[in-house]
Chains A and B, each alone.
Chain A
Amino acid sequence: MDIAFVSQIVVSGLILAVIYALVAVGFTLFVGVFNVLNFSHGDVLMFGAFAGFTAFLPLAGLGVTSPFLQLVLVTIASVTCTIALGLIVARFFILPLKGAPLLNTLLITLMLATVIREGVRLFYPRGSNPKSFPALLPTDFVSIGAINVRVDTIMLIFAGLAIIVATGALIERTRFGLAIRAVAQDEETARCMGVNYRLVVLGAFALGSGLAACAAMINGLYYNEVNYSMGLMLAIIGFCSAIIGGLGNIAGAILGAFIFAGLQIVGSLFMPFSSAYSDVFAFAVILVLIALKPTGLIGERVSERV
């Protein structure tokens, strides 16, 4: 294997890791504040990708031709629509199910996922066809030694990492983050401290959905394609990442995402028949990991004292 080929795969693995991490953090946030496995998350992401794509279409006609300005507007549209949809999901389908059996909330998020996915497929013009997402970042190559990498790829990786770091800081350093962590540990006591529970749940859904929009943008800009079923696989992988990291744990979700992407790389490098089996390999290893470490890789380090 030559170095150029390996570096190519490592770079695409990093892109995947960043996308997965952004999705996984959402899953883990929702479990933290509401103890809900929100399977509509992937399709909220897909909705964000379509919102960004739709916002792009009229821009050239409106005289907005600068790729940078286009990127800013497309991102704003995607993030705004995704947050709005996430808030609708939280306010009308999740919060009313407070106290309901877990299976009911699970079922509702699965049905929501189907409604959003099929809604886009049926009602978006030619919704079942893949759409070509515009390349709004510079696509020229830079050479580092023998390695050639596209500029937009590097920008996307760094943008994704920056968003992940900023999210970590938000959770660890701000009052809102403290409220999310408090609710995740003990909802009733958090309320007794003066935390507005409903607001924190809505805020966490807004944050998680906004991160999904970022994942959708990175995904669209990297692969230059969006389609109505893209959310499904991303949701499964994001969910897996959150589980192997230990559900409810932000750092664990990020670690899980990098592990999953790493496994896919290893799979495509060393498995026969190239990359076709990388997902099979990655999921198989995840199965083993979960069997060995059922509570996740970052377990509870703190035991509750009586």
Chain B
Amino acid sequence: MSDGNAIGRTLTVSGVFAGYDAADVLHDVNLTVEPGGVTCLLGANGSGKTTLIRAILGLTRPRAGEIRFGESDLTTLPTHRIVGAGIAIIPEGRKVFPRCSVEENLRLGAYEIADRAEIRRRMEVVYDRFPRLRERRGQLAGTMSGGEQAMVSIGRGLMKAPELLIVDEPSLGLAPNLVEENFETIAGIAKQGVTVFLVEQNVHQTLAIARRGYLLQQGRVVESGDAKSLAASDAFQQAYFGAGH
């Protein structure tokens, strides 16, 4: 699975049960995100993708199981310590801070960094990737278009200079041409050596850029493997194209 030149830590989710109130949404979920490339998590609405991301980020505490990133145990760490460990998130729905400027949004991405020169340097990297954000650095993010907000959200994630970037439903609510652009951006980020854990409903484009993936159904991992064999599996065919062919 390794890229040859990929060095870094592996995210390991083992035996995780999690949910809200009395009901478990995730049942004994096991998966690993190995360093390098794009690993994807596929699954229909309500299959537990969002709950798994929340569990990894410490927003919903697992009832059982363990989440590790390399040697460090994330299971009981508060969220700000988890993202401090080299993990960044591009959340579902982009979640830019609407009443903060573009620059402030980016600053928040590197919140734990105090060194101004380093922040400046990372901002320039983001601005080079999205020149439009440089033009609009002073604009309130809430007044921008959906596509521009997607750039802010991705840029904010990159500000952490993460080892692992979790991308949650990036194409949700975007126009088709923007979806295309978004996938290219994500593939580009992965090529530069950032490990990407991509959660998506948009199967074909996801499998086109992913190396490896997991299929989640009703809170259980029902299939895993490299992108090709995942697409060919019975469970996948059944989930996405219905049974009986």
Which residues of A are interface residues toward B (Cβ below 8 A)?
Answer: 175, 178-179, 181-182, 185-186, 188-198, 302-306
- Enumerate B92-141 residues with CB–CB distance to A below 8 Å: 93, 95, 97-100, 104, 107-109, 111-112, 114, 140
Complex CA–CA separation, A303 to B100 (angstroms): 13
Q: Is the interface of A mostly helix, strand, loop or mixed?
A: helix
Instruction: Write the B56-67 contact mask toward A (1 if CB under 8 angstroms, else 0).
Output: 010100000000
CB pair A193–B111 under 8 Å, yes or no, is yes
Instruction: Write the B70-103 contact mask toward A (1 if CB under 8 angstroms, else 0).
Output: 0000000011100110000101010101111000
Complex CA–CA separation, A303 to B80 (angstroms): 27
Distance between A184 CB and nearest chain B CB, rounded to angstroms: 8
Residues of B close to A189: CB separation below 8 A = 91, 95, 97
Query: A179-B111, A182-B108, A189-B97 in contact; A195/B80 too (CB < 8 A)?
Result: yes
Residues of B close to A191: CB separation below 8 A = 59, 78-80
CB pair B142–A304 under 8 Å, yes or no, is yes
Distance between B207 CB and nearest chain A CB, rounded to angstroms: 26
Distance between A62 CB and nearest chain B CB, rounded to angstroms: 41
Complex CA–CA separation, A81 to B166 (angstroms): 44
Complex CA–CA separation, A305 to B152 (angstroms): 13
Residues of B close to A182: CB separation below 8 A = 97, 100, 108
CB pair A178–B107 under 8 Å, yes or no, is yes
Distance between A170 CB and nearest chain B CB, rounded to angstroms: 15
CB pair B142–A193 under 8 Å, yes or no, is no
Contact of B142 among A188, A194, A198, A302 (CB under 8 A): A302
Query: A181-B99, A182-B108, A185-B99 in contact; A192/B142 too (CB < 8 A)?
Result: no
Residue of B nearest to A172 (CB): B104
Contact of B108 among A188, A195, A302, A306 (CB under 8 A): A195
Distance between A229 CB and nearest chain B CB, rounded to angstroms: 37
Residues of A close to B91: CB separation below 8 A = 189, 192
Contact of B146 among A190, A194, A198, A305 (CB under 8 A): A305
Interface membership of B160, Cβ < 8 A: yes
CB pair B89–A178 under 8 Å, yes or no, is no
Interface membership of B149, Cβ < 8 A: yes
